[in-house]
């Protein structure tokens, strides 16, 4: 199930601790992503196979909003520790290609982009025909 708690746990795994006033924004991001997924697959709910993708997308939406509107809130986010490379099957995403080759903002942007787009190709497996 995609909910605020799942998204909060995912953000925590990246080193971001939710602040007291973050809940409305996170709730909005979760609802936005759930609506997007439901619209993409023409379904009424989020299938179990897409829940992890929706959680990552919600985390990406949240971090993107924070980066735009409250960049000081995510200053302490340590992307060196969070990720340098993700490999799932044949897919490989590298966020830092050597010491100092990307600025922290570039790494954050690449990471957010990955969260927002990774797994969207899996939507096709769950898509229903709309009459």
Q: Is residue 87 part of a domain?
A: no
Q: Is residue 15 part of a domain?
A: yes
Which class for 83: exposed (0-12), middle (13-18), buried (19 or more C-beta within 10 A)? middle
Q: Alpha-carbon distance 101 to 90, whole Å?
A: 24
Q: Are 50 and 122 contacting, i.e. CB atoms less than 8 angstroms apart?
A: yes
Q: Is residue 89 part of a domain?
A: no
Count of domains observed in the chain: 1
Per-residue pLDDT of the chain (131 residues; tens, 9 = 90+): 788 999 999 999 888 989 989 999 999 999 999 999 999 999 999 999 999 999 999 999 999 999 999 888 887 776 654 455 566 666 666 655 555 577 778 888 889 999 999 999 999 899 887 76
For residue 37, give its domain range. 4-76+116-126
Q: Is residue 84 part of a domain?
A: no
Q: Which residue has the tokens 């986010």?
A: 77
85 bridge partner residues: 94
Q: Is residue 101 part of a domain?
A: no
Q: Alpha-carbon distance 52 to 10, whole Å?
A: 10
């Amino acid at each position: 199930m995609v909910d605020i708690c799942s998204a909060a746990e995912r953000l925590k795994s990246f080193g971001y601790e939710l602040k007291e006033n973050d809940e409305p924004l996170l709730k909005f991001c979760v609802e936005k992503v759930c609506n997007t997924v439901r619209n993409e697959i023409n379904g009424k709910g989020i299938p179990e196979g897409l829940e992890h993708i929706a959680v990552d997308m919600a985390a990406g939406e949240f971090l993107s909003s924070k980066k735009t509107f409250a960049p000081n809130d995510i200053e302490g986010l340590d992307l060196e520790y969070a990720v340098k490379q993700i490999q799932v099957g044949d897919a490989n995403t590298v966020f830092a290609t050597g010491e100092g080759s990307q600025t922290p903002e570039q790494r954050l942007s690449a990471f957010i982009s990955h969260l927002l787009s990774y797994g969207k190709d899996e939507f096709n497996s769950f898509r229903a025909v709309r009459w």
